[in-house]
Amino acid sequence: MLASLSIFITNFIERVGYLGLGILMALEAIIAPIPSELIVPFAGFLISDGRFSWFGVLVATTIGSLIGAYALYALGRYGGRPLIARWGHWVLVKPEDIVKAEKFFVNHGRKAIFLSKFVPIVRSYVALPAGLSRMPLAPFFFYSALGSIIWNTFLIYLGFTLKNNWERAAGIISYGDKIGTVLFVLVIIIWIVRHHTKKRHDTASVV
């Protein structure tokens, strides 16, 4: 599966160029099974081979990531609420959960958007709750772009350095992904614990 996906990605980028790179990154932002860990290092290899430029790859990957992220953001912002109001109970999502998400993104949205770019799967879907909670578009784009630029630069550098062995980047990154996932989960757990502790304290104060 991974081998055939790798072949598809490399062929698509070689045929379509920067546009293909941007399209794949947009899809990666929407569909998690298309990993940036395969897309961007190959582009880094093409830089080392003289077929792409650093600037072109960074621009194409970042714009592609932003387009994909905005697609999910727009889905959440303009279509998510009616869907949840009608069908949310089937997936255990209530309108009150949207209110909680709004509060979370008001206080922590910028950090969540930025840090999500370094966590697998999460980076593909965090834009949806951001849209549902109606996070302002300007900070959403800014922190999405900032995280994407840093992440993509790292992946480009790996592919550029590994050259013909660029596929090894996925294995190297998997260790970092695991660490990033653990840290992200810990942050969420800490936030939940603090939220419930504060809620109990406020309730006790009222009593």
Identify the CA nearest to 111 among candidates 184, 25, 56, 57: 184
Q: What is the pLDDT of residue 204?
A: 53
Of 196 and 31, which is predicted with more confidence? Answer: 31
The yes-or-no verdict on residue 205 having pLDDT over 60 is no
Task: Give dist(CA 126, CA 71) in Å, integer.
Answer: 12
**Largest distance between two CA atoms of the chain:** 70
User: 31-35, 87-91, 122-126, 137-141: lowest mean pLDDT where?
Assistant: 87-91
pLDDT in tens, 120-129: 777 777 888 8
Q: What is the pLDDT of residue 178?
A: 59
User: 98-107, 143-152, 176-185: lowest mean pLDDT where?
Assistant: 176-185
Identify the CA nearest to 161 among candidates 73, 48, 75: 48
Task: Over range 67-89, report the average pLDDT.
Answer: 75
Of 118 and 58, which is predicted with more confidence? Answer: 58
Q: What is the pLDDT of residue 59?
A: 97
- Calculate what percentage of the chain has a pLDDT beyond 70: 69
Band (91; pLDDT cuts 50, 70, 90) = very low
Residue with tokens 């998997």: 174
pLDDT, averaged across the chain: 79
